[in-house]
Amino acid sequence: MTELKNDTFLRALQRQPVDYTPVWMMRQAGRYLPEYRATRAVAGDFMSLCMNPELACEVTLQPLARYPLDAAILFSDILTIPDAMGLGLYFETGEGPRFKKTVRTMADVDALPVVNGEHDLTYVCDAVRTIRRELNGQVPLIGFSGSPWTLATYMVEGGGSKDHARAKALAFDQPELMHALLDKLAQSVTAYLNDQIRAGAQAVQIFDTWGGALSHNAYQEFSLRYMKKIVDGLIKENEGRAVPVILFTKNGGQWLEMMADTGASALGLDWTTDIGAAKARVGDRVALQGNMDPSMLRASPKRIREEVATILARFGNGPGHIFNLGHGITPEVDPANAGAFIESVRELSMPYHQK
């Protein structure tokens, strides 16, 4: 493999000294970029774009051509695993992802296969290999998956949901059924992420988008337990380097200590958690990633710079911080504002890393 020219992101994930705070953005390849919209139009629709390794590579690299980012993230979707399990993923305009089939009985769970990335999601692994080749060592590549609980909510509900009422009811009333589903998903996510690592992903992130909708005890039982199982089963080293794992539970700031106990390298923070307080709680055990409110990118460049300065000051001196948004960048953001954000992080973070 080509030697990595910029490993700042990987070093920060392992809390090693760096010259500045590395930065990337969740959904950094997306609809706010006109070049992305043009490529998606060529593909025809979102899933056709995801399933074309060359076009997925093209959009993965687009933000790197604009901005001095410190990582690329695979362009894909968290719902590829349920789709590979045969549920029939499709997208309704204005309604988000939907499934043709749902999972609500033990017979439904028993019928689901355990997904193998190279066999069942070949297009994802091919995209990882293509992106690594085209990156040519510029920055590291992040692979990812949805968490078992997050995937399960979509599979039970049949799509997105505001309250996840059906999934929660199933978990509370028929926990053995939910655990059977989550166990099968944990096996699939572990295999899927390991196949991404073998294909060239140099770090991986688990997106637990809906874990924060659970109560304290339910989070431990139905979400965290299975993410720990995944972390335990992941490849720890590849190409002579450690492969860091980032856990991101949206609205999960109250569980940081338990998340750190999973053995993850880093924890993603949404904007509702103060990063200084998070560092005081767990910062000597894991790196922290985050956590500017994505809506701040709709403010002026001056205001964006002020917010970046505030977050950097709250984290303070030393390694172990990867700057990011607290969730994905939104479609209406001006690309120039995203650029101002990234430039502010690079410039303002350097004094925090001086020896």
Annotated binding site for substrate: 27-31, 77, 154, 209, 327
Residue 270 annotated in active site: no
Please list, in sequence order, all residues whose beta carbon lies within 8 angstroms of the beta carbon of residue 94, skipping any fewer than 6 positions away.
none
207/147 Cα distance (integer angstroms): 6
Estimate to the nearest angstrom the gap between the alpha carbon of 272 and the chain centroid: 18
Please tell me which residue in 20, 154, 192, 226 is annotated as part of the active site.
154
Please give the DSSP secondary-structure letter assigned to residue 326. Answer: S
Please tell me which residue in 11, 15, 27, 132 is annotated as part of the active site.
27
Residue 208 annotated in active site: no
| Closest by Cα among 216, 214, 60, 206 to 139 | 60
Estimate to the nearest angstrom the gap between the alpha carbon of 4 and the chain centroid: 21
311/289 Cα distance (integer angstroms): 11
Residue 31 annotated in active site: yes
Positive or negative: CA dihedral 33, 36, 40, 45: negative
The H or E element that residue 168 is part of is: helix 165-173
Please list, in sequence order, all residues whose beta carbon lies within 8 angstroms of the beta carbon of residue 138, skipping any fewer than 6 positions away.
5, 6, 64, 72
Residues in the chain: 355
Residue 154 annotated in active site: yes
DSSP string, 200-250: T-SEEEEEETTGGGS-HHHHIIIIIHHHHHHHHHS--EETTEE--EEEEET
Q: Which residue has the tokens 């589903």?
A: 181
Backbone angles phi, psi at 114, to 5 degrees: -80, 125
Strands of the sheet with 321-322, listed across from one edge = 72-73, 141-146, 203-208, 245-249, 266-268, 287-289, 321-322
Please tell me which residue in 7, 70, 77, 195 is annotated as part of the active site.
77
Half-sphere exposure of 277 (CA within 13 A, CB side): 9
Q: How many CB atoms lie within 10 A of CB 273?
A: 21
Instruction: Supply the residues annotated as catalytic.
Output: 27, 31, 40, 77, 154
